[in-house]
Amino acid sequence: KPRVYNFGDKKADGNREMKNLLGGKGANLAEMSSIGIPVPPGFTITTEVCTEYNQLGEEVAMGFIRDEIEAAIANIESIMGTKFGDKENPLLISVRSGARVSMPGMMDTVLNLGLNDDAVLGIAKQTNNERFAWDSYRRFIQMYGGVVLGMKPESKEDIDPFEEIMEALKHKRNIELDTEFTIQDLKDLVYDFKEAVKKRTGKNFPSNPWDQLTGAIIAVFNSWNGDRAVYYRKMHGYPSDWGTAVNVQAMVYGNMGSDSGTGVCFTRDAATGENTFNGEYLIDAQGEDVVAGVRTPQQITKTGSQRWAELAQVEEDDRIKYYPSLEELMPEIFKELNQYQEILEKHYRDMQDMEFTIQQGKLWILQTRNGKRTGAAMVKIAMDLLKERMINEKEALLLIEPNKLDELLHPVFDPKALKKAHAIAQGLPASPGAATGKIVFFADEADKYKSSILVRIETSPEDLEGMNIARGILTARGGMTSHAAVVARGMGKCCVSGAGALRIDYKTRTLTVDGHKYQEGDWISLNGSTGNIFEGKVATMEPELSGEFAEIMDLAQKFTKMQVRTNADTPKDAKVARNFGAQGIGLTRTEHMFFEVDRIKAMREMILADTVKGRKEALKELLPMQRSDFEGIFEAMEGLPVTIRLLDPPLHEFVPHQLETQRALAEDMHITLQEVKNKVAELEEFNPMLGHRGCRLGITYPEITEMQARAIIEAALNLKEKGIEAKPEIMIPLIGTMAEFESQEAVIRATANQVFEERNDSIEYLVGTMMEIPRATLMADLIAEKADFFSFGTNDLTQMTFGYSRDDASKFLPIYLEKGILKDDPFEVLDQEGVGQLVKIGTERGRSVKTNLKVGICGEHGGEPSSVEFCYNTGMNYVSCSPFRVPIARVAAAQAAI
């Protein structure tokens, strides 16, 4: 089996299906090459070699591929008519990483590899462009130095050691732009760079191209286990054994003068999803210049350029003179690029994010991939592609990443507050959303405040973690395709980029705009949809959901085979969830209802009462409150089932633990403080999670169950009188044995019958149980004989199956995750292997006696896409999750059924 795959000259060994082996970039380079897109020739070293390198070490792994690499280089040489390591006519190459999924900026890329003191002269002569040759050489030393030799800034306030040398020279020569360096300047820079490398690493910069190549390949392999990559993998749950491929490719040069350039483009708008070709480019520039935000990039299309000029307040004349679009500047190239973007989008049937380089009037495509996009863009693009008949309904649904829908449900600025807000500057609307927070200037300080806005001149891949923590990102430099913009869109995080009016000083930690100074810790607000930057904290409100959102939900409805319910304790939550399409309530927790001030008092009196009579009296006070709660919820969920769980938590959670409150309670109840204290002490438990809670409460104090059952049935009857249908499903928590269930069921049914008699009317209701104790899942066949339904309470079931206390797990779970003892937090992602078995067993055994037993889930997992899929495969009737996760669960459920 080959370890190296060639591409170029309209041929390729690989194709787009081979992402696991060739990485995303390599697979797509191969695909593009074979469908006739002009791609510089090259080869891909497989991800398996990366794994071999990690397991067997450098010598063995490199030994495996030495011959194949030599042959592959020879192949490039023959296509390009140049020679690697030659003095006269040298081949230069790029070494690019590329994992299975695109991890922007995660892995490092080295350009212009193969240059040394001889080759630079050959290139200069061959191209008849000395300036270009030396510019490429200094770029190479800079990149290779940074990526392979570890020449990075020594502290976060420092700048890149090579940038520092360049800045010093610019200062000395009194120039501003890289393009203003003379040839002699570039030669001096090369010399100084090499000296800096020697001084810092103690070794000469490697001059042999083959050594350079080996060094770069190893560096790419190593970057797979670099901090940034590891963090990104964790964030997305990608396993560490995937490895990265290495792409080696002939260089094409965007820095050969005014007829050359480089850029990035998107087939649709990655922020809004609009079907407009867009992107940015720079003339006389190479690779990363656009993304790094070193110079202000120009727009690809004329309309894009005009829109940009408006935001950046550039006059039309100046725009045409200094920032013309590619469409205006190089109409032929633009036409060709426009063709390729259409071809590629049709070919991949998804929005593409492409890189290109123009070398002396010839266009080369260097990368294509399914573009990262915001949640809003994701929804619009999926529906648009469907309407354009590029994809079918199922494919449209599969283009939705359920978790990303969350972004659409987040607040936007309140238009009234926005009118009064004081705008201090304008940047580019890089990633939509509303963000307010306190200013921080360093990514590793993003967690300094509860809400922070990361303010940077520009961001780099090192900042990823901080960007994730911050509420929003603001940069002074860089365009719509800058690192900050691309990453923020991927995260669905609000970002304003390229706000040129900002003066940021890292040393003094200040931001100055128009002479006004803002310090670290000052509040600012960003509007990522307009690029506006505001002073202070601007109020936000709930978003309105777009038409496409509803269309996606309709599609989900069409394909889903499982219902989605919600966990809701109040009529308000119930309404929100119903608007999102919840088909009932899977869990109403009744204890939350007791925590309001006037109720907690009655509750405490009930707990403190020593006699059944005393308890009944206190409960009488609670009854009307509970009843009206249920009426509200039933009304909000009219006609849909509502599962109500009887009181669950240990009683000690309700009694006061502070002296002040204890004293007040004693006075109220006309008892002594000591009596209150005694009761509190009496209720204290060593292990409350395994203590006196759940049905154990109802069994020791049946009056509680009685009161709750009465409140539920009376509420339903009251609504029936008003013509509103209520469908209560009464759920007994924490059952482990059949007898427990029977005892509680008897109380409930007796109470219901009594109420029916009193009112001379009746309603339908169910009595079922929570499945959350492992024993209950094993005894499910017995329990199902009596229970009308099962609802898997996977929070407790996980806790009891693993034996991890939910309240204490934060002490060790993070370490477990870090050490790879656990892949995911089992309280977030259902442990399908272990806990999942109990869910399956419980369902199967239950249905073996009652074929149509209603089964659902009401733990946190009900809104987590992979767990939803598991629930579907287990044959559940519904999942239930918090209101804002309902749309996510609905799409996940539909995807599971496709």
Residues belonging to the active site: 483, 858
DSSP string, 539-586: -EEPPPPPHHHHHHHHHHHHH--SEEEEE-SSHHHHHHHHHTT--SEE
Partners of 278 in the β-ladder: 266
- Cβ at position 858, least distance to Mg ion in Å: 9
Nearer Cβ to Mg ion, position 417 or 690?
Answer: 690
Torsion of CA 754, 757, 760, 762, to 10 degrees: 50
Binding residues (CB under 5 A) for Mg ion: these are 367, 772, 793, 796
For residues 771 and 793, is the Cβ–Cβ distance under 8 A? yes
Q: What is the distance in angstroms between the CA of the first residue and the CA of the last residue of the chain?
A: 35
Nearer Cβ to ligand ADP, position 96 or 861?
Answer: 96
Binding-site partner at residue 96 among ligand ADP, Mg ion, none, CB < 5 to 8 Å by type: ligand ADP
Distances (CA, A) of 732 to 422, 658, 715, 746, 877: 55, 31, 19, 12, 19
Give the SS3 label for residue 605.
helix
For residues 108 and 38, is the Cβ–Cβ distance under 8 A? no
Nearer Cβ to ligand ADP, position 488 or 858?
Answer: 488
Binding-site partner at residue 831 among Mg ion, ligand ADP, none, CB < 5 to 8 Å by type: none
Binding-site partner at residue 565 among ligand ADP, Mg ion, none, CB < 5 to 8 Å by type: none
- Cβ at position 98, least distance to ligand ADP in Å: 7
Two tokens at 812?
């060790």
Residue 705's φ and ψ, nearest 5 degrees, are -60, -40
- Cβ at position 82, least distance to ligand ADP in Å: 13
- Rounded CA gap, 529 and 429, in Å? 5
Two tokens at 90?
């040298």
- Cβ at position 549, least distance to ligand ADP in Å: 31
Measure the CA angle with vertex 42, ends 39 and 45; round to 5°. 130
Nearer Cβ to Mg ion, position 327 or 772?
Answer: 772
Binding-site partner at residue 251 among ligand ADP, Mg ion, none, CB < 5 to 8 Å by type: ligand ADP
Centre a 10 Å sphere on the Cβ of residue 579 and count the other Cβ atoms it contains.
12
Nearer Cβ to ligand ADP, position 105 or 856?
Answer: 105
Q: 248 — alpha (psi -120 to 50), left (phi > 0) or beta?
A: beta
- Cβ at position 251, least distance to ligand ADP in Å: 4
- Rounded CA gap, 139 and 136, in Å? 5
- Rounded CA gap, 214 and 234, in Å? 29
Nearer Cβ to Mg ion, position 384 or 772?
Answer: 772
- Rounded CA gap, 201 and 162, in Å? 14
Binding-site partner at residue 366 among Mg ion, ligand ADP, none, CB < 5 to 8 Å by type: ligand ADP
- Cβ at position 282, least distance to ligand ADP in Å: 10
- Cβ at position 733, least distance to Mg ion in Å: 6
- Cβ at position 246, least distance to Mg ion in Å: 14
For residues 406 and 884, is the Cβ–Cβ distance under 8 A? yes
Nearer Cβ to Mg ion, position 537 or 589?
Answer: 589
Binding residues (CB under 6 A) for ligand ADP: these are 40, 94, 96, 105, 109, 111, 249-252, 287-288, 355, 357, 366-367
Give me the residue whose beta carbon is nearest to Mg ion: 796
Nearer Cβ to ligand ADP, position 120 or 711?
Answer: 120
Binding-site partner at residue 796 among ligand ADP, Mg ion, none, CB < 5 to 8 Å by type: Mg ion
Binding-site partner at residue 40 among ligand ADP, Mg ion, none, CB < 5 to 8 Å by type: ligand ADP
Distances (CA, A) of 532 to 518, 524, 545, 572, 862: 16, 11, 22, 33, 38
Nearer Cβ to ligand ADP, position 115 or 715?
Answer: 115
Binding-site partner at residue 793 among Mg ion, ligand ADP, none, CB < 5 to 8 Å by type: Mg ion
Instruction: Say if strands 789-792 and 766-771 run parallel, antiparallel, or are unpaired.
Output: parallel
Burial code (b: 16+ CB inside 10 Å, e: under 16) for 756-781 equals eeeeeeebebebbbbbbbbebbebbb
Two tokens at 11?
């041929």
- Cβ at position 355, least distance to ligand ADP in Å: 4
- Rounded CA gap, 23 and 48, in Å? 10
CA atoms within 13 A on the CB side of 699: 16
Binding-site partner at residue 801 among ligand ADP, Mg ion, none, CB < 5 to 8 Å by type: none
